[in-house]
């Protein structure tokens, strides 16, 4: 028996596990410390009332013989797929129900999709980037090339025509930088992908934070994207489902490589390896798209965006370079006084008892930068900002 030795090429620990370990060690040594966590992008507001009502109702259904449900469709229940279809229609994007696959979140699908793609594909990943894109490809032994995000390109790298990619990752609004591609910029990526017959894996997990109507919230708002892109989205950040788990992946019927539809391959993969998201959770997810549910989740998003504004205004006042936080829950800042990302992490943890995420954890281009999340409690965020300003 041989192990998958590609795993040995991974960093010792996943970024957010490393951070959690560091916090635990600090807390054990400093038990009275009052730590404020603006690190991992985890939500803090509870599920909205419409979702809770739907979860209760569905739970009661599971208690009765006549309404009990066993295995559901691997692709998700039609009631939820249709809500998502309508949600896209409201964004001006027409989808068929069978292009929408319900899952337990974008992170799983972004990793699982690699099952249907050949290991020899050349992968192009922007740097800095959500570390799961890199790690899942390392696990599969795939060759990864990076494209640099930096202050000069506002952390929105654009295609290099002299390079031919097979698989391209794009996350917009971006994790970790909060940068959002415009229609024109995404169009350049779509044209590039179609020219090199590459596949774009588009992560739209933060689309609900885009308030600027001129910015795209789905790759499928771009002409030509149905021929080259899969979109991954999730209710984690949209509706506070980080612990409830529900997301969806859109695989257009036009998407074909070697004469084979990726929609069929993905369907085949899901039917073999996945037994669907629990019925109760899908009912909760359905409620997100109801009139009341949607108003309620948008109030929560407004709350987080207000947190982002508080962080943005404070950094602005202090003259600390930063981006994001307007159409995104993440603020990406330059570490003060030439500190490295981990130095600044340690500095804030020990001097201010505030946790953020070191930019270097998102790739080498993230070195010297730092990410703060707006998903915290309002009063605690304001307190954290005070402490950061005092110690920066």
**Shortest Å distance, C-beta 308 to ligand MLT:** 14
User: Which residue's beta carbon is nearest to the bound ligand MLT?
Assistant: 41
Closest C-alpha to 246, from 220, 217, 218, 284: 284
**Shortest Å distance, C-beta 286 to ligand MLT:** 22
Closer of 87 and 130 to ligand MLT (Cβ): 130
- Residues interacting with ligand MLT, by CB under 6 A? 40-42, 107, 130, 175
356, 331 Cβ separation under 8 angstroms: no
Pairing of strands 357-358, 247-250: unpaired
Closer of 121 and 234 to ligand MLT (Cβ): 234
Q: At what angle do helices 279-288 and 49-62 cross, to 10 degrees?
A: 150
**Shortest Å distance, C-beta 260 to ligand MLT:** 30
Residue owning tokens 């809500």 = 83
**Shortest Å distance, C-beta 42 to ligand MLT:** 6
Write out the two tokens for 321.
């370079």
**Shortest Å distance, C-beta 131 to ligand MLT:** 8
DSSP 42-78: ---SPPPHHHHHHHHHHHHHHTSTTT---S--TT--H
**Could you give phi then psi for residue 122, rounded to 5 degrees?**
-90, 125
Closer of 132 and 222 to ligand MLT (Cβ): 132
Closer of 180 and 222 to ligand MLT (Cβ): 180
Closer of 11 and 268 to ligand MLT (Cβ): 11
CA contacts within 13 A on the Cβ side of 70: 1
């Amino acid at each position: 028996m041989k192990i998958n030795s590609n795993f040995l090429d991974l960093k010792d620990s996943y970024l957010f596990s490393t951070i959690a370990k560091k916090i635990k060690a600090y807390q054990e040594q400093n038990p009275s410390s009052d730590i404020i966590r603006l690190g991992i992008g985890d939500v803090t507001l509870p599920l909205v009332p419409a979702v809770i009502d739907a979860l209760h109702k569905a739970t009661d259904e599971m208690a009765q013989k006549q309404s009990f449900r066993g295995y559901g469709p691997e692709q998700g229940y039609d009631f939820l797929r249709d809500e998502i279809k309508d949600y896209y229609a409201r964004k001006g994007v027409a989808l068929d129900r069978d292009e929408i696959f319900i899952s337990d979140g974008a992170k799983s699908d972004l990793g699982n999709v690699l099952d249907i793609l050949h290991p020899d594909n050349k992968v192009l990943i922007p740097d800095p980037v959500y570390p799961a894109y890199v790690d899942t490809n390392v696990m599969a032994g795939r060759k990864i090339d990076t494209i640099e995000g930096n202050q000069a390109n506002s952390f929105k790298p654009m295609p290099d025509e002299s390079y031919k990619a097979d698989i391209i990752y794009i996350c917009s609004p971006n994790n970790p930088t909060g940068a959002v591609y415009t229609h024109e910029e995404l169009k350049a990526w779509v044209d590039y992908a179609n020219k090199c017959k590459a596949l774009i894996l588009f992560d739209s997990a933060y689309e609900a934070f885009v308030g600027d109507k001129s910015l795209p919230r789905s790759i499928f708002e771009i002409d030509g994207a149905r021929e080259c892109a899969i979109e991954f989205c999730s209710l984690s950040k949209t509706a506070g489902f980080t612990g409830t788990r529900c997301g969806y992946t859109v695989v257009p019927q036009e998407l074909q490589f070697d004469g084979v539809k990726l929609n069929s391959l993905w369907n085949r993969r899901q039917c073999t390896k996945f037994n669907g998201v629990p019925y109760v959770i899908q009912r909760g997810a359905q409620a997100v798209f109801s009139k009341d549910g949607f108003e309620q989740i948008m109030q929560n998003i407004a709350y987080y965006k207000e947190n982002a504004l508080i962080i943005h205004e404070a950094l602005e006042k202090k003259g600390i370079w930063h981006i994001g936080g307007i159409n995104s829950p993440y603020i990406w800042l330059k570490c003060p006084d030439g500190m490295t990302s981990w130095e600044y992490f340690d500095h804030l943890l020990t001097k201010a008892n505030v946790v953020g995420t070191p930019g270097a954890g998102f790739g080498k281009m993230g070195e010297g930068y730092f990410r703060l999340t707006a998903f915290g409690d309002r009063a605690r965020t304001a307190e954290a900002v005070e402490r950061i300003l005092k110690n920066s």
